[in-house]
């Protein structure tokens, strides 16, 4: 079990995880009951998955955004944020809106099941469940998700971003980006031409870390520009005075 918080990850690693070379799918377990964490972790690893664990709803959102898991097992009753809130929140971010989510819950009422699916969960398991059943459901959601996730190549002008391998190129040049700059560029590439205010960028790229000052955005925009425009290529990031930034044709 990799015990790592998103903060640690961002501080210690300037480079993105190179998950593409690793053939094991990464599963985020979100669960506050230690016995169930142990059970899930053991069974998933035995079945050939990598796992990371979040023990409350806030950590779940952080890890989902920074670690790009292939699927999420999400407990309903969690500290800080409920599984439903986490699910709804993740569906709003472009980078997590299509990650398969299986809700795990002690509730068995049909009404709750429908609420979970309404919030964007892909499947639903009522505790207690057998590990075999969980693995079968997980394989099913991963199979359904795969075609969409393979196509995750974004292109804008001469910039190409492969979300699977986290490779960014401009023309023939490989661009090295730190995690925040990568997410910033990905957000721009998903909405080319659209102008985003610093506050909007903080919401969507930094997620819940609202204590971050809007000026921080400028710092990261500067780094992103520097990385992208290394060899005096034309600047694709447009500063819109008193509004914010957009990705635009130079
Ligand atoms: Ca719980």
Ligand 1 centre and the CA of 243: distance in Å? 42
Ligand 1 centre and the CA of 106: distance in Å? 8
Classify residue 28 as exposed, middle or buried by CB count within 10 Å of its CB (0-12, 13-18, 19+).
buried
Ligand 1 centre and the CA of 58: distance in Å? 14
Res 107: pLDDT: 67
Ligand 1 centre and the CA of 109: distance in Å? 16
Res 146: pLDDT: 61
Ligand 1 centre and the CA of 84: distance in Å? 12
Res 118: pLDDT: 73
Classify residue 167 as exposed, middle or buried by CB count within 10 Å of its CB (0-12, 13-18, 19+).
middle
Q: CA 232, CA 215: separation in Å to the nearest integer? A: 25
Could you tell me which CATH number the domain at 6-149 has?
3.40.50.2300
Tens-of-pLDDT digits for all 250 residues of the chain?
544 444 434 433 333 344 444 468 899 999 999 999 999 999 999 999 999 999 999 999 999 988 889 999 999 889 999 998 999 899 888 778 889 999 998 866 667 777 777 777 888 888 888 999 999 999 988 887 765 444 578 888 889 998 878 899 998 889 999 988 999 999 898 888 888 899 888 877 887 555 778 888 999 999 999 999 876 668 889 998 888 999 988 7
Could you tell me which CATH number the domain at 177-247 has?
1.10.10.10
Domain boundaries, the chain: 6-149, 177-247
Res 13: pLDDT: 37
Res 149: pLDDT: 47
Ligand 1 centre and the CA of 139: distance in Å? 23
């Amino acid at each position: 079990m990799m015990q790592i918080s998103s903060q640690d990850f961002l501080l210690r690693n300037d480079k993105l995880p190179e998950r593409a070379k690793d053939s094991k799918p990464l599963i985020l377990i979100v669960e506050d009951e230690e016995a169930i964490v142990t059970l899930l972790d053991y069974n998933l690893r035995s079945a050939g998955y990598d796992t990371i664990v979040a023990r409350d709803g806030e950590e779940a959102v952080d890890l989902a955004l920074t670690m790009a898991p292939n699927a999420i097992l999400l407990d309903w009753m969690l500290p800080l944020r409920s599984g439903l809130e986490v699910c709804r929140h993740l569906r709003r971010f472009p980078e997590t809106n299509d990650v398969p989510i299986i809700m795990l819950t002690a509730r068995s009422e049909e009404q709750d099941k429908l609420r979970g699916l309404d919030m964007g969960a892909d499947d639903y398991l009522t505790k207690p469940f057998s590990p075999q059943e969980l693995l079968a459901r997980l394989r099913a959601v991963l199979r359904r998700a795969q075609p969409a996730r393979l196509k995750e190549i974004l292109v804008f002008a001469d910039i190409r971003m492969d979300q699977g391998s986290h490779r960014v190129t401009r023309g023939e040049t490989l661009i090295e980006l730190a995690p925040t700059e990568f997410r910033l560029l990905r957000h721009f590439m998903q909405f080319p031409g659209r102008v985003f205010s610093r506050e909007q960028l903080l919401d969507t790229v930094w997620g819940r870390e609202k204590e971050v000052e809007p000026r921080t955005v400028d710092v990261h925009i500067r780094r992103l520009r520097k990385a992208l425009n290394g060899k005096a290529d034309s600047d694709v990031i447009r500063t819109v005075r008193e509004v914010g930034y957009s990705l635009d044709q130079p």
